[in-house]
Amino acid sequence: MKNERCFLMLMLAVSVNLLFAVNLCFSFQDKKDNKMLYQAIEALKLSEEIGDRLWPGYKLKEIPIAIYSPGGEAFLINHPSPPSGFEEVETSYSDEYKIYYTEKTNMFDAATATMVNGVLTAVIPCQKHFEKLSGKIKPTEEQIGTIFHEAFHVFQDNWKFPPINYIMFNKYPVFSAINNTLGNLEGKILAKALLESDISVVKSLARKFLAVRNERQSKFDRDMINYENGIELLEGLAFYIHKMLNKFKEESIPLTLSLIHISEPTRPLYISY
């Protein structure tokens, strides 16, 4: 009788473990069409379609990506060292991408490039979180643009830009009429230069731009100038990547997993004032 009881307990333990494994599998299978993962795969496929035409050497497949719901589930894609709690899952994309999943995590709290278990990773909140914060619908193509944007910050780390003193953000003259007016003038001059085909005119516009910028920044101390130039370099290039996706909408590059085409981002091209 004792042996039978031990056998039954052993079988029960095995059954529970098998059931847990099966439930985990089915739980993920239910989520394999999860919109967070779907959009990340869309971005990866689009990056492969575009190749080096967006930026030489910039490939999403080579960048670890985290997509998460705050305080909830999260996916890690192509991360070489996933933290504890993330399990590798099998999907129809497993031959191309390493995908890890956790049902609940508080590890992420912003759209950014940050260290995840010692590896710089592009971190992007889910579409619903953006919509909750803004009170507006965020189109799927805009979410894909955000993935490209944050992943580009990881790519930028290869260039080793000087560190940015973000404390200066609180001191920036956001409401200065003179600074904003001259900043807008800089933007207009640059826009005109970009549309100009005559190189002599472009050079003239470049000189005008520098004259206006030097005048505007003459009111700043060196720390503020370094802050503004650093933000413009770091965020400006990432917004450029975001904006350049419009070009591939015009070329009508179809995404692999849907009929979605990249449309005009709702956020403007970054111009530092």
The DSSP bridge partners found for residue 215 are: none
Reading the block at residue 41, the tokens are 């795969």
Q: Where are the alpha helices (DSSP H) in 105-198?
A: 127-134, 140-156, 177-195
Burial code of 91-122, b = ≥16 C-beta within 10 A, e = fewer?
Answer: bebeeebebbbbeebebbeebebbebeeeebb
How far apart, in Å, are the Cα atoms of 191 and each of 53, 131, 150, 195, 209?
Answer: 22, 31, 25, 7, 10
pLDDT tens-digit readout, 255-269 = 443 333 333 333 323
Structure letter (DSSP) for residue 75: E
* pLDDT at residue number 130: 80
In this prediction, residues 4-28 reach a mean pLDDT of 39
- pLDDT tens digits, residue range 116-148? 999 999 999 998 888 887 888 888 888 999 999
Average pLDDT over residues 162-187: 94
Global pTM reads 0.75
Mean pLDDT, residues 195-223 taken together: 96
* The pLDDT value given to residue 252: 54
Which of 30-34, 93-97, 105-109, 113-117 is predicted with the least confidence, judged by mean pLDDT? 30-34
Give the pLDDT confidence score for residue 158 in this predicted structure. Answer: 85
Give kind and range of the element (H or E) at residue 113: strand 112-116
What does pLDDT average to over the chain?
A: 81
